[in-house]
Structure 1
């Protein structure tokens, strides 16, 4: 008997829910798995680019070293660049910094930050 895993992209949630869940995870690492799903759903499906970028930057600057949310924030900035065709200077600096940290120490920031940086370079034709 084969079991088939099904992957579904999480939906965008109301902004108040996103803020509450991300803030909770930034204060208590026990909530990181739910926050990861929320951040991905926001980056892939929310139509408010300013909100998406703001929360990717918040997570990417406030999560503790070693948190899986750091690499994910970089990846989600890559999704944001692909979807909207632009990023702020602050977001560009962060995605580059997260990628450099991932390259230097994958136990600090995981490799998804490198994937996000590659996406930013590809979709925004930078660097």
Structure 2
């Protein structure tokens, strides 16, 4: 009987050494690392196609405040707000220098940081200085 016992133990040990159990399975291969993405060559950050409209505040003689709001990105139309009055829309007019807008008997003429406003051909506000601009 001891010989039979030895034979059984030898058979069990032989079965274990053949890798019959799940622990004996070969380890799975690790996935290959992903190929790096190519670096961007010509990165271009695009600006908006047109400039954004802006609003400007002028302070004129006598401490009068005048507001000019660009109504379109091409600066072809403005809304001019005078003290105590509703905004009036003016369209770009031909000018030898500066920016000139006219309409409804009003003319806004800006040169650099200064502006003059006329009504019916007479100066209504002069010595206007740009105080702030926001866009």
TM-score, normalised to structure 1's length?
0.22
The structure where strand makes up a greater share of residues is 2
TM-score, normalised to structure 2's length?
0.22
Greater RCO, CA 8 A, separation 6+: 1
- Max Rg structure: 2
